[in-house]
Amino acid sequence: MTTPSTTKSLLQKGSGLQVVVGLGQSGLSVANYLTQQGYRVAVTDSQVTPLLADKLPAEVEIRQFGGIDPALLLHASRIIISPGISLETEAIAAAKQANIPVVSDIQLFCEACSVPIVAITVSNAKSTVTTLVGQMAADAGVDVGVGGNIGVPALNLLANKTMQLAVLELSSFQLETVTNLGAQVATVLNMSPDHLDRHGDMLGYHQAKHRIFQGAKSVVINREDALTRPLVADNLPRLSTSIQAPDKGQYGLITDSNGETHIARGTERLLSADKLIIKGRHNLLNAQSALALGELAGLPLESMLVTLQHFSGLDHRCQYVATVHDIDYFNDSKGTNIGSTMAAIEGLGAVYAPKDGKLLLILGGQGKGQQFGGLVPFIDQYVSHVICIGEDGHQIEQHLRAASISNEVVIHQSETLEAAFVTVQQVTSSSLSQIQAVLLSPACASFDQFSGYAERGERFNQLVAQIEGTTI
């Protein structure tokens, strides 16, 4: 750690200091990038010993850990803030008041990137669509970089000097400091309440998300969600998606008289839903979104359709786990907000409803201040049993009952996921049960009992395997 006296002497060497606030993966990528560009770089983090501190390049002379020093930030020519740090943090707010620019790693990436960008944000399913578009590009022979909020920091993509296309998943946290992204194609796939503890209300959340459209050359719109419609010029190229029949020249679904559903563009049937590995109506919308984004990015349709038929989805995102005793189990642990869970219930519920089947839904964890009553219409239609778990399990039940959940829906309380599976076996073993699928879609963060959604999802998979008597 650099001492205050050493820091003071270094600051006196000249101007142009770039201060990186937050030493996670994105912060490390920023420090590496800026030092490679010849900038003087300081790094600060609230942790006393950040896990990645020993990976910082030697050129980073100023390292202040154990707190974010307002004085250091006021010496900056520019502050690059990590997504997890709020702009309302006292030291950051003071720097902004002093007219010091505060940006994200995404802003740096956009300024340096010379290839077209596909920019994707959404409350739910952005990782699925981002991964799918990236795979479509790769299968079409395009040298593509996929990153952002999906594991690989965006700046790391610049190391590939032959990259032809960048596909970025972007969070509201990353977007709130971005100006003029300039994407080849940009989209907000859907909007539902999330991160309101950070953005204050839906207006703040909406404004952050819609920064993705600044400078966009084309856009993709979800016709099912008015909040995805951008305020852009009418003549800007655009495509739209829907679970309904397509508008002229747009994407949608066509159902034949025999009940077979097709992804379509205008009147042209492109692909039968039965040929997709990924299931659920929400995934049909994801597939359309990927096709629309790929089309506006210049990818060939035939190749994209082949990719779609081989795409098996992502772990913990409405992931099919197994069928045990004629019950299908789905792991949607990544469903950490009510919008994601709504999509999962509706998407899977519509698959089982024609067979008079119902879902058993596992909800719960840390609720992040959400109002769970919005789930009630979806639960009433597709769910017969709800198991509430975790820290906010009882609060979730209160919200559901306050929203007049149907008396036909049985609500159970189980403190843990393990306890929930005891209830699952009791309920599904009844000869009167209509349950054809068990869905873990918690609509909550997992940190009350797990290190993250992945650990929660893996535990779900293990519990399914125990019922099945095999190892998954």
Pair (121, 264) in one structural domain: yes
β-sheet bridge partners, residue 187: 120, 220
Tell me: pLDDT of 230 over 60.
yes
Q: Considering the candidates 149, 156, 283, 331, report the single residue annotated as catalytic.
A: 149
Pair (32, 142) in one structural domain: no
Question: Over pLDDT 90: what percentage of the chain?
Answer: 68
Q: Considering the candidates 75, 126, 368, 399, report the single residue annotated as catalytic.
A: 126
Pair (91, 141) in one structural domain: no
Pair (401, 462) in one structural domain: yes
Q: How many CA atoms lie within 13 A of 49 on its CB side?
A: 1
CATH number of the domain where residue 456 is located: 3.90.190.20
Domain end, chosen from 57, 83, 103, is at 103
The answer to the question of residue 141 being in a domain is: yes
Q: What is the mean pLDDT of residues 211-228?
A: 88
CATH number of the domain where residue 63 is located: 3.40.50.720
Pair (255, 112) in one structural domain: yes
What integer pLDDT is reported at residue 406 of this predicted model?
A: 97
Tell me: pLDDT of 161 over 50.
yes
- Domain membership of residue 263 as a residue range: 107-310
What integer pLDDT is reported at residue 314 of this predicted model?
A: 82
Tell me: pLDDT of 198 over 60.
no
Tell me: pLDDT of 186 over 90.
yes
Show the beta-strand stretches assigned E in 137-237. Answer: 144-148, 165-169, 185-188, 219-222
CATH number of the domain where residue 182 is located: 3.40.1190.10
Structural domain count, the chain? 3
Pair (143, 288) in one structural domain: yes
pLDDT band at 4 (very low <50, low <70, confident <90, very high): very low
Taking the C-alpha atoms of residue 423 and residue 413, their distance in angstroms, rounded to an integer, is: 9
Joined tokens for residue 121 = 């944000």
What integer pLDDT is reported at residue 380 of this predicted model?
A: 98
Domain end, chosen from 46, 71, 103, is at 103
Q: Which DSSP state fits 84?
A: T
Q: Considering the candidates 75, 156, 190, 195, report the single residue annotated as catalytic.
A: 195
What integer pLDDT is reported at residue 424 of this predicted model?
A: 96
What integer pLDDT is reported at residue 126 of this predicted model?
A: 61
Pair (65, 191) in one structural domain: no
Select from 196, 154, 149, 156 the least CA-distant residue to 170. 149
> 299-341 pLDDT, tens per residue?
999 999 999 999 988 889 888 888 899 999 999 999 999 988 9
Q: Are 413 and 393 in contact (CB under 8 A)?
A: yes
Domain end, chosen from 81, 103, 125, is at 103
pLDDT band at 454 (very low <50, low <70, confident <90, very high): very high
pLDDT band at 192 (very low <50, low <70, confident <90, very high): low
pLDDT band at 428 (very low <50, low <70, confident <90, very high): very high
Taking the C-alpha atoms of residue 466 and residue 329, their distance in angstroms, rounded to an integer, is: 13
What integer pLDDT is reported at residue 124 of this predicted model?
A: 55
Sheet holding 18-21, edge to edge: 62-65, 41-45, 18-21, 78-81, 102-103
Pair (296, 343) in one structural domain: no
Active site residue 126: yes
Tell me: pLDDT of 3 over 60.
no
Pair (39, 86) in one structural domain: yes
Tell me: pLDDT of 7 over 60.
no
Pair (112, 48) in one structural domain: no
* Lowest pLDDT segment from 8-12, 314-318, 345-349, 434-438: 8-12
Taking the C-alpha atoms of residue 327 and residue 329, their distance in angstroms, rounded to an integer, is: 6
> 37-96 pLDDT, tens per residue?
999 999 999 999 999 999 999 999 899 999 998 999 999 999 999 887 888 888 999 998
Q: What is the mean pLDDT of residues 143-156?
A: 92
Which carries the bigger pLDDT value, residue 15 or residue 27?
27
Query: Could you tell me the pTM of the whole model?
Result: 0.75
Q: What is the mean pLDDT of residues 389-406?
A: 97
Tell me: pLDDT of 470 over 80.
no
Active site residue 310: no
Pair (218, 328) in one structural domain: no
Q: What is the mean pLDDT of the chain?
A: 89
Active site residue 279: no
Which carries the bigger pLDDT value, residue 430 or residue 252?
252
Joined tokens for residue 256 = 């034949």
**70 exposure class (CB count in 10 Å sphere: 0-12, 13-18, 19+):** middle
Pair (161, 298) in one structural domain: yes
The answer to the question of residue 472 being in a domain is: no
What integer pLDDT is reported at residue 313 of this predicted model?
A: 81
- The owner of tokens 């795409």 is 311
